[in-house]
């Protein structure tokens, strides 16, 4: 079966040249002429893989050949590379922050909460109890402060709008699935145009301040996997027709079960286990990985 190697760099710093793409081609078996998806930024090379060589092995060989270039590598079967379902993590993936850490900053507890967040995202402690411990530290924050954090502290990751809108324009279903909170996912899903969003619910006291509790059950690693499986069933899709992206240990099961699971600027454990990793480019890398050319990218105005 024909495979395709897609090489992508940061669109803000084009670094790919014909010489670099030729070097990559020399690693591959029976490569076709390279095809630029975006000159200087992304290129496809279709090839016939060796029977004894996995996609991960080929990707590692290509990374080694291009180690002097800040480039990300995707290697996958050519057939079926366009996906019909996108599941995306929110914190440190679709946005540049960890929402719970930003909330903690409002009450002077950022360091304490961020330390727990980091350990949970690395997989050093279980996500669900870690979330409950952090939410307990957030007791007493009023709703207005949360809205202020969303407005002033949260930034969208470059390429996220194009990723969601291009996939939707081409018939895919998109879901934002977060271990964070619904009050944040509602705002981010609306800004980026996701079809739906799922997250944890913060509970409030009668005076409108956080109670220090989250509604049960906590949405963690297994809930993200369940979301992928239930949406696949609802939409009548195979595993190969799905794409998932995330950065933390609570994304691992979802990434492993997707047709293409991408670790985005992820913790080492997650990057090692995912089908592909993005360390340099922005989220448009997931569009190039599906074979979209730059001129095919959509924005909200295109829908």
Pairing of strands 42-47, 3-9: antiparallel
* Cα→Cα distances 10→13, 69, 155, Å: 5, 11, 18
Pairing of strands 42-47, 35-38: antiparallel
User: Does 91 qualify as catalytic in the annotation?
Assistant: yes
Counting every residue, how long is the chain? 303
Distance of CA 139 to the CA centre of its chain: 30
Which one from 10, 44, 91, 101 is the annotated catalytic residue? 91
Q: What whole-number distance in Å separates Cα of residue 46 and Cα of residue 31?
A: 6
User: Does 10 qualify as catalytic in the annotation?
Assistant: no
Residues 6 or more apart in contact with residue 190 via CB below 8 angstroms: none
The answer to whether the beta carbons of residues 278 and 287 sit under 8 Å apart is: no
Phi and psi at residue 202, in whole multiples of 5°? Answer: -75, 140
Which one from 89, 101, 251, 282 is the annotated catalytic residue? 89
Query: Which residues carry out catalysis?
Result: 89, 91
């Amino acid at each position: 079966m024909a495979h395709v190697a897609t090489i992508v760099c940061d669109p803000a710093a084009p670094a790919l040249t014909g010489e670099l793409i030729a070097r990559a081609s020399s690693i591959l078996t029976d490569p076709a002429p390279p095809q630029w998806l975006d000159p200087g930024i992304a290129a496809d090379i279709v090839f016939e893989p060796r029977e004894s060589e996995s996609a991960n092995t080929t990707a590692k060989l290509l990374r080694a050949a291009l180690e002097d270039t800040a480039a990300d590598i995707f290697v996958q079967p050519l057939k079926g590379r366009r996906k019909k379902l996108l599941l995306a993590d929110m914190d440190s993936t679709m946005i540049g922050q960890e929402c719970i850490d930003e909330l903690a900053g409002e009450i002077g507890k950022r360091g304490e909460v961020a330390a727990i967040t980091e350990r949970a995202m690395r997989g050093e402690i279980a996500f669900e109890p870690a979330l409950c411990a952090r939410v307990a530290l957030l007791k007493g924050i009023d709703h207005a402060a949360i809205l202020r954090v969303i407005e002033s502290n949260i930034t969208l990751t470059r390429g996220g709008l194009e990723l969601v809108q291009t996939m939707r324009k081409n018939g895919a279903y998109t879901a934002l699935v977060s271990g964070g909170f619904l009050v944040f996912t509602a705002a981010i899903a609306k800004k980026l145009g996701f079809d739906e969003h799922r997250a944890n619910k913060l509970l409030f006291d009668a005076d409108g301040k956080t109670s220090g509790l989250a509604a049960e059950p906590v949405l963690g690693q297994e809930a993200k996997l369940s979301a992928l499986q239930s949406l696949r069933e609802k939409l009548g899709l195979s595993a190969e027709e799905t794409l998932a992206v995330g950065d933390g240990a609570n994304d691992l099961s979802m990434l492993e079960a997707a047709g293409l699971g991408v670790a985005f600027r992820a913790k080492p454990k997650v990057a090692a286990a995912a089908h592909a990793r993005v360390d340099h480019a922005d989220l448009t890398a997931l569009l190039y990985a599906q074979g979209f050319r730059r001129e095919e990218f959509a924005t909200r105005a295109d829908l």
